[in-house]
A and B are shown apart, each in its own frame.
Chain A
């Protein structure tokens, strides 16, 4: 198997597994090989255990966006030469980054949008709208790269959904009772 490497923002490859061992890679590096749908952190690939050194990561360098790779692979290129884009072979395309968060990033925390919509149209309380606004906050913060902020907004939004749905459910027996009394009295 051949591996492409993105280390400190510099892409290189392809390399055989043995070559990787001599590159002095750290745990901050990213890897791609044919069959992966996106770049993976080197620590996520079990077969690469031991070819890198664990380091503290003050910040995660996101691999440069691979541009549409239509060129042919040039093999035997020593990696010290100018960094190459990983290239696709036989029509296989590299994962594209179209402004979306990449897979090596944490997945978006739940936006709770379904529950916000359901509580808005079924629970008869305008608080469901607050939950929709929080869903928007989650997805916006996530796109800005503020994962912690997104998680917090996700939690607050979830509580708005729960509160709306509980109030809606609590209201049912009262509402049923009031409606039934009215019908009986009339």
Chain B
């Protein structure tokens, strides 16, 4: 009961955010929050460009989304898989172990750090 309420709420919030990010373009409109890390340090964080990338994705423009934040695009299937694994953790513990293999987490961590570094060097 509690779990289904949480899922309904999460879907409602996601849909609302989807509508906002579909209707308004973060690179045009001024209402979107700017990245804290970028504001304070002047350097891009691994998540910079996510809002513009989501806007582009909602309009079906995968190429533009990739340009705004490549990490976000790569992460989407990963997030889906991990979320599913988290949901069935107790029912399929072996599947959970496979998805959460140290090698895979290392790979993701390395990807984030390399992306963070390179995007600040080449201004991606």
Contacts and interface: CB of A to CB of B under 8 A. Distances in A.
Interface of A: 100-101, 103, 107-108, 110-111, 113-114, 117-118, 120-126, 128-129, 132-133, 135-136, 138-140, 142-143, 171-172, 174-176, 178-180, 182-183
B34 interface: yes
Contacts of B97: 100-101, 108, 139, 142
B33 A136 contact: no
Contact of A120 (B46, B98, B106): B46
Given A117-B82, A139-B102, A176 B46 contact: no
A122 B50 contact: yes
Interface string B49-62: 01000000000000
Majority secondary structure of chain A interface residues (helix, strand, loop or mixed): helix
Nearest 7 A-B pairs (CB), nearest first?
A175-B33, A183-B30, A107-B93, A124-B35, A114-B82, A121-B47, A136-B105
Contacts of B72: 121
Interface in B27-47: 30-38, 45-47
A107 B90 contact: yes
B41 to A, nearest CB: 10
Nearest to B109: A132
A174 to B, nearest CB: 7
Contact of A114 (B71, B83, B112): B83
Contact of A107 (B48, B96, B108): B96
Contacts of B93: 101, 103, 107-108
Q: Contact residue range for chain B?
A: 35 or more
B106 to A, nearest CB: 7
Contact of A129 (B31, B89, B109): B109
Contact of B37 (A108, A126, A138, A142): A126
Contacts of B108: 113, 117, 132
Interface string B2-31: 000000000000000000000000000011
